[in-house]
């Protein structure tokens, strides 16, 4: 894969009009976009369909979790939308239902391990006894067993996760911040080059690009950093 195949720009912005402006500004430099809750609830699903029809790749970040039949029905319809990636929380039953529903399609199902905004105190407050690293590795192994296409984790865990899932599964890492940029609400972050070296296959970059004075220049700088990794 080229850097262009591996960089996913997170369209975590409030309106489709803003998203259209960003996509237009980035032009052919960016192939892959992530659409999550904020944009989905502002008309983003139709926008996602349009992006896919225009030849872009779309990572639909819905973090699904429900009973098996509901998961399967949702995944079947998302396949029809032409999406490239879809997230689920990495619970074994949900993952198995999704894998069965997506069988035969090109949809890459991603298991969400531990959100990059969460650290040990956050997990303890939520009732988890494992620390973030051990919970990530447990869920990565469960995603592999379920037949998922990849997982989502912090770049800090990429190397350890790669050892668990092997060379073929995607490792998608949010919380990517170019050197010197603001961490925002992320607690476990890494630079683009370091994330690739650690074993990440795809990088999700949102605010450092979409909030930049020149989004295209910001994207190109990140692509250059990714291309420089050997």
Tens-level pLDDT at each residue, the chain (230 residues):
899 999 999 999 999 999 999 999 999 999 999 999 999 999 999 999 999 999 999 999 999 999 999 999 999 999 999 999 999 999 999 999 999 999 999 999 999 988 878 888 998 998 888 888 899 999 999 999 999 999 998 888 899 999 999 999 999 998 888 865 554 544 456 889 999 999 999 999 999 999 999 999 999 999 999 998 86
Reply yes or no on whether 80 is catalytic. no
56, 63, 138, 187: the active-site residue: 63
54 catalytic? Reply is no
Those residues whose C-beta lies under 8 Å from the C-beta of residue 133, and which sit 6 or more positions away, are 157, 160
Catalytic residue among 5, 29, 57, 61: 61
Parallel/antiparallel/unpaired status of strands 150-152 and 170-173: parallel
Domain boundaries 3-227, CATH class: alpha beta
Delimit the domains of the chain by residue range: 3-227
What are the DSSP calls for 57-98, one per residue? EEEEEEEE-S-HHHHHHHHHHHHHTT-SEEEEE--HHHHHHH
Is residue 61 among the annotated active site residues?
A: yes
Which residues sit in the known binding site for substrate?
12, 34, 61-70, 116, 177, 186, 206-207
């Amino acid at each position: 894969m080229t850097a262009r195949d591996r960089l996913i720009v997170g369209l975590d912005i409030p309106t489709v009009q803003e998203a259209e402006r960003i996509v237009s500004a980035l032009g052919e430099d960016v192939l892959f976009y992530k659409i999550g809750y904020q944009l989905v609830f502002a008309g983003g699903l139709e926008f996602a369909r349009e992006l896919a029809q225009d030849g872009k790749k779309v990572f639909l970040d819905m973090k699904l979790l429900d009973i098996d039949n509901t998961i399967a029905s949702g995944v079947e319809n998302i396949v029809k939308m032409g999406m490239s990636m879809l997230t689920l929380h990495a619970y074994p039953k949900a993952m198995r239902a999704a894998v069965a529903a997506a069988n035969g399609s090109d949809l890459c199902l991603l298991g969400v391990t531990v959100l990059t905004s969460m650290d040990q105190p956050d997990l303890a407050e939520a009732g988890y006894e494992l620390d973030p690293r051990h919970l990530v590795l447990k869920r990565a192994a469960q995603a592999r067993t379920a037949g998922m296409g990849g997982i989502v984790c912090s770049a800090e865990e990429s190397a350890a996760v790669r050892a668990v899932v092997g060379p073929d599964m995607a490792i998608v890492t949010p919380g990517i911040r170019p050197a010197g940029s603001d961490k925002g609400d992320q607690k476990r972050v890494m630079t683009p080059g370091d994330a690739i070296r650690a074993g990440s296959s795809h990088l999700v970059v949102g605010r450092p690009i979409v909030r930049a004075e020149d989004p295209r220049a910001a994207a190109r700088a990140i692509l250059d950093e990714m291309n420089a990794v050997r």
